[in-house]
Structure 1
Amino acid sequence: MDYDTPLFFHVMSYATDADRDVIDMVSGNPDWGSPPGIAEGLHEYADLGGEDFQYPPSEGLVELREEIAARRDVDVSQVVVTAGGGEANYLAMARAMEREAGDEFILTDPVYPYYPGKTTMLDAKQRFVATAEDGTLDPDDVREAASEDTAGIVVNSPNNPTGAVYDEESMRELVEIAEEYDALLVSDEVYDHFDFSGKFTSALTFDSDHRVVTNSFSKSLAITGFRVGYAIFPPDLVDVAKTRHMLTNVAGSRPSQYAVLHALRETTREYYEENRRLLESRIETFTDALDAAGADYTTPDGAFYVMARFPDFPGTLSNVEKLIDEAGVAGMPGEAFGSSRDDWVRFALVTPRAEEAAERLADYFSDR
């Protein structure tokens, strides 16, 4: 089976090798720093030694799983701590296929590229549902695409790349569609702390045996390198997922989990609120510069990405390389996210140089 190398790696390598200063707006690595509890937890862990340096329980440290379960109002047995949100999504999608209730995933267009990549790994089929211009998803379109072949429906809210946030009614209907077609709704909620609209609703709001919620601390605690995520499964589906996790990874990183647990207990609400305010300010500054560049763009209700479409400048890989070479700004080509936005470019606003990048883009397109 052939796998395509993610386009992210190509663009990042091209930007790194450029003969000029380039502002990275490709990767979603938060720049605002982790809360103090992360470093404190690591220092505390370093002094433990002995048995605490050995394998943790495969499904995650008991105390961390208990903390997650309490915060999400589920039984601790339903929680599997994973190697980031990526593994959580893989386990959930694999579980959908193992139910043998279909062999097709419904995905949105535009889509986070790793979802279709995982369908390829799982030897599954793909069916795409286009979102609205603002990135919102109409559940009626999902219902129309669903069939007896549907194994799973994969959604991401707040959304990468559009910044859309699915409200309570949309999420309720998505859960109902999964139940109606005996499919599994996989709700990736990794950006749940970055909701600017106040409309975000977790799929956990609705009691159902047909939904799995995945998440990660990579973005919310600014620790993408720690690789600590989790999945919450229905009781009847969790045991097989734990087995697949054990066979794939044996267990996750014990020091990372220990530090995350310490940070969850010590971090105040102000940390998350301050980061949201920072992002809202960056979004306003960046989109003002896009106005100056004559671009169309999405104003995100959540997450930290902006998609932009520049006049006579389709978001192809070659044009993204041209932006790197001539403007010194690296974004992601729209074609990486599906066919509906292949003339757009996605920018991640997780750099202190976001305002400078916006000025570079405005200057570049005003001179064209």
Structure 2
Amino acid sequence: MNYETPLFFRVMEYADAAERDVIDMVSGNPDWEPPEALRAGLRAYADLEPDRFQYPPSEGLLELREEIAARRGVDADQVIVTNGAGEANYLAMARAMERDRGNEIVLTDPVYPYYPGKTTMLGGTQRFVATDGEGQLDPDDVRAAASEETAAIVVNTPNNPTGAVYPAETMRELVAVAEQYDAVLISDEVYDHYDLSGRFASALETDSAHRIVTNAFSKSMAITGVRVGYAILPPELVANAKSRHMLVNVATTRPGQYAVLQALRETGPDYYERNRERLRERVATFTDALDAAGAEYTTPSGSFYVMARFEDYPGTIANVERLIDEAGVAGMPGEAFGDSRTEWLRFALVTPRVEEAAERLAAYFE
């Protein structure tokens, strides 16, 4: 079986090899500080006894699972601590596929490209449902696309790449569609702390044996390299997922779990609000410059991405490389996210040089 390497790596390698200064707006790596309690937790961990450097419980440190469970209103036995949201999504999709209810996974278009990649890896087939111009998903469209072959419906809210935040009614209806077809709704909520609209609704708000929620601390705590995420599964589905996690990864980083637990306990809501406010300011700065460049763009309700369309400049990998060489700004081609946004480019607002990048784009396209 052939797996396609995600275009993220190709763009990053091209930008790194450029002979000029390039502002990186490719990947969602936050440029701001992690919580101070996380740094303190890592320092404290270095002085613990040798037994703390051995294998942790495979499903995660009990104290961390209990903390997550208390915050999410579930039982700790439903929580598996994973190597980021990436592994959590893999476990969820694999668990849905092994129920033998079909091998089709319904995805949105545009789509975060790792979801179709994981579908291929698991031997499934993709079926895409288009979102509207604002990135909103109509549950009736999902219902029309679903069938007896549907193993899972995968959604991401707040969304990458559109910045859409699905309202509570949408989430309830998506769970209902999964129940109707004996499928599993998988809701990736890794950007939940970057809801800029106040309308975020978790799939956990609808109690069901047909939904799995994935998340991580990678974005919310600005620690994409620490690799601590989690999956919350219904009691009926959790055992096999724990076994697969053990066979694939054995366990997740013990120091990272310890530090995340300290940060959860000691970090107040002001930390997350400061980061949301930073993003609001960057969105305004960036979109003002896009206005000046005559571009069409999305204004995110959540996450930290803006999609833009420039006249006669489709979102191809060749045009992204051209933009790196000639403007010194690296974004992602819209074609990486499916068929519906091939005219667009996606930019991650996770650099302190957002204003400079916007000025470069405005000058290039004026």
TM score, norm. by length of structure 2: 1.00
Paired position in structure 1 for 2:27: 27
Q: Per-residue deviation at 1:4?
A: 0.6
In 2, Cα distance between equivalents of 1:17 and 1:43: 35
- Which amino acid in the other structure matches residue 183 of structure 1? A
Q: Per-residue deviation at 1:216?
A: 0.4
For these two proteins, the number of residue pairs brought into alignment is 366
In 2, Cα distance between equivalents of 1:236 and 1:3: 31
Deviations 1:324-348 (Å, cap 9, x if unpaired)?
Answer: 0000000000000000001100000
Paired position in structure 1 for 2:315: 315
In 1, Cα distance between equivalents of 2:335 and 2:315: 7
Paired position in structure 2 for 1:84: 84
Secondary structure of the residue aligned to 2:359 is helix
In 2, Cα distance between equivalents of 1:171 and 1:128: 18
Deviations 1:125-151 (Å, cap 9, x if unpaired)?
Answer: 110000001100000000000000000
1:50 aligns with 2:74: no
Paired position in structure 1 for 2:240: 240
Paired position in structure 1 for 2:197: 197
Secondary structure of the residue aligned to 1:193 is helix
Paired position in structure 2 for 1:93: 93
Secondary structure of the residue aligned to 2:128 is strand
Paired position in structure 1 for 2:334: 334
Paired position in structure 2 for 1:41: 41
Q: Per-residue deviation at 1:33?
A: 1.1
Paired position in structure 2 for 1:275: 275
Paired position in structure 2 for 1:305: 305
Q: Percent of counterpart pairs with the same letter? A: 73
Paired position in structure 1 for 2:187: 187
Deviates more, 1:44-53 or 1:152-161: 44-53
- Which amino acid in the other structure matches residue 239 of structure 1? A
In 1, Cα distance between equivalents of 2:161 and 2:28: 11
In 1, Cα distance between equivalents of 2:198 and 2:253: 33
In 2, Cα distance between equivalents of 1:116 and 1:291: 33
Deviations 1:54-108 (Å, cap 9, x if unpaired)?
Answer: 0000000010000000000100000000000000000000000011111100000
Paired position in structure 2 for 1:173: 173
Deviations 1:174-233 (Å, cap 9, x if unpaired)?
Answer: 000000000000000000000011111000000000000000000000000000000000
In 2, Cα distance between equivalents of 1:36 and 1:78: 29
Task: List runs of 5+ in structure 1 lacking aligned partners.
Answer: none
In 2, Cα distance between equivalents of 1:202 and 1:250: 29
Task: List runs of 5+ in structure 2 lacking aligned partners.
Answer: none
Deviations 1:10-37 (Å, cap 9, x if unpaired)?
Answer: 0000000001000000011001110101
TM score, norm. by length of structure 1: 0.99
**Deviation beyond 4 Å, 4+ runs, structure 1:** none
Secondary structure of the residue aligned to 2:214 is strand
- Which amino acid in the other structure matches residue 235 of structure 1? P
Q: Per-residue deviation at 1:49?
A: 2.4
Secondary structure of the residue aligned to 1:165 is coil
Paired position in structure 2 for 1:128: 128
In 1, Cα distance between equivalents of 2:42 and 2:119: 36
- Which amino acid in the other structure matches residue 314 of structure 1? P
Paired position in structure 2 for 1:293: 293
In 2, Cα distance between equivalents of 1:53 and 1:327: 47
Paired position in structure 2 for 1:359: 359
